[in-house]
């Protein structure tokens, strides 16, 4: 069976050796030595001023909305994982959808301003598949209209745009460290923010504590555990080799499929990408389903990221986005992971090409 992805696991002995350091202290959570160490090495590796490690990638979005005092309408993308929009609704705000760019698949910055009303308080945009949004245009719009900017960078670990980590853009950026991601902690995530917001974000993720017997304000429990941090510390030394192997697979796919009638993802200029996914866009849903069925029969299981378009969810009413709905119905992510053998890769490519006819 060939799935769309496969978790990269470091040598078990290396993970256990790191975890033993926490084990010996008896300190498994509440920001132990490994969580603090992971935050420090990630700050250095990513060249970011600060971050807060958390237990998953959704809580950072919810905390960002809450901590920034955002209310009312939030302009967002309909083409993302459901957590992007569910976080908005969960925090009592209203998602207002703006359609996406047909090639980059990120929110179309040229359509944002028309969606702003007196009720708008923020923009929450996704760096889809690690492909950067037009951050300069979004920043300009946000400043003009006094809006906060949050970036869902779930797929953005290791991506740089104009020489900077993606996480250095916006008031707040978030990332997922889920086991399906390039860098992972099994389950986990992180929040990155401007220095002025750091203290507020930190307290919100730790029940609102200001010391053991005082409270800064409202908070929840979003803390990362020591076993999660140990996994991150064990995976990080392999990240460059992970990138190298994934790039080789992406290059093979692209060389084989570039001459087909499939639409491939356009990466925004000035981006050093992380090869997080390999999406292909078919001419119509019928063709997609034909290829998907053929792959499934051969034991290959790609994934329809992202389907359905979030503007069609039953608990939202933020407008219809035609481009997003069209793309969502026609896009399929092909298998991409460390250890995907050449024979399997060629098998996938051949099935796709044969069934395009």
Q: Where does the pLDDT of residue 63 fall: very low under 50, low under 70, confident under 90, or very high at 90 and above?
A: very high
- Decide: residue 37, CB within 10 A, 0-12 exposed, 13-18 middle, 19+ buried: middle
Q: What average pLDDT does range 20-48 have in this prediction?
A: 96
* pLDDT tens readout for residues 286-299: 999 999 999 999 99
User: For residue 344, how far is the Cα from the chain centroid?
Assistant: 26
pLDDT of amino acid 357: 75
Residues 6+ away with beta carbon under 8 Å from 72: 93, 94, 119, 120, 121
Residue 208 has pLDDT above 90, yes or no: no
Residue 18 has pLDDT above 90, yes or no: yes
Euclidean distance between the first and the last CA atom of the chain, given in angstroms as a whole number: 25
- Nearest CA to 150 among 168, 123, 127? 123
Name 223's bridge partners: 54
Residues 6+ away with beta carbon under 8 Å from 15: 230, 231, 234
Residue 12 has pLDDT above 80, yes or no: yes
- Distance CA(188)–CA(227), nearest Å, equals 11
Region for 205 from its dihedrals, namely left if φ exceeds 0, alpha if ψ lies in -120 to 50, beta otherwise: alpha
Q: What average pLDDT does range 56-82 have in this prediction?
A: 98
pLDDT of amino acid 304: 98
Q: Delineate the domains of the chain, giving CATH numbers in brackets.
A: 10-98+105-237 (3.40.640.10), 238-354 (3.90.1150.10)
Q: What average pLDDT does range 102-114 have in this prediction?
A: 98
Asked whether the beta carbons of 111 and 85 are under 8 A apart, the reply is no
pLDDT of amino acid 311: 97
- Percentages of the chain per state (helix, strand, coil), in multiples of 5: 40, 15, 40
Asked whether the beta carbons of 159 and 166 are under 8 A apart, the reply is yes
Q: Where does the pLDDT of residue 255 fall: very low under 50, low under 70, confident under 90, or very high at 90 and above?
A: very high
* pLDDT tens readout for residues 259-286: 999 999 999 999 999 999 999 999 999 9
Q: What average pLDDT does range 152-178 have in this prediction?
A: 98
């Amino acid at each position: 069976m060939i799935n769309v992805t496969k978790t990269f696991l470091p040598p078990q002995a290396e993970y256990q050796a790191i975890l033993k350091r926490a084990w010996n202290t008896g300190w498994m959570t509440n920001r132990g030595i490994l969580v603090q160490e992971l935050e420090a090495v990630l700050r250095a590796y990513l060249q970011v001023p600060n971050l807060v490690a958390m237990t998953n990638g959704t809580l950072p979005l919810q905390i960002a909305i809450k901590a920034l005092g955002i209310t009312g309408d939030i302009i967002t993308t309909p083409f993302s994982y459901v957590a992007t929009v569910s976080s908005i609704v969960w925090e009592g705000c209203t998602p207002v959808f703006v359609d996406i760019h047909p090639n980059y698949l990120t929110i179309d910055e040229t359509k944002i301003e028309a969606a702003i009303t007196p009720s708008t308080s923020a923009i929450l945009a996704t760096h889809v598949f690690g492909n950067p949004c037009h951050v300069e245009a979004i920043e300009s719009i946000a400043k003009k209209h006094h809006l906060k900017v949050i970036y869902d960078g779930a797929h953005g670990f290791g991506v740089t745009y104009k020489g900077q980590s993606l996480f250095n853009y916006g008031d707040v950026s978030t990332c997922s460290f889920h086991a399906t991601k390039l860098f992972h902690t099994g389950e986990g995530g992180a929040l990155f923010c401007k220095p002025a917001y750091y203290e507020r974000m930190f307290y919100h993720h730790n029940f609102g504590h200001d010391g053991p017997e005082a409270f800064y304000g409202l908070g929840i429990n979003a803390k990362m555990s020591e076993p999660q941090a140990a996994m991150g510390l064990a995976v990080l030394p392999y990240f460059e080799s992970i990138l190298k192997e994934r790039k080789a697979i992406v290059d093979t796919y692209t060389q084989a499929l570039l001459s087909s009638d499939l639409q491939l993802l356009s990466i925004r200029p000035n981006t050093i990408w992380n090869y997080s996914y390999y999406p292909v866009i078919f001419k119509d849903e019928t063709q997609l389903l034909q290829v998907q069925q053929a792959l499934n029969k051969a034991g290959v299981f790609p994934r329809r990221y992202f389907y359905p378009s979030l503007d069609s969810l039953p608990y939202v009413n933020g407008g219809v986005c035609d481009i997003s709905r069209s793309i969502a119905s026609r896009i399929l992510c092909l298998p991409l992971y460390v250890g995907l053998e050449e024979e399997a890769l060629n098998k996938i490519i051949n099935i796709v090409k044969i069934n395009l006819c």
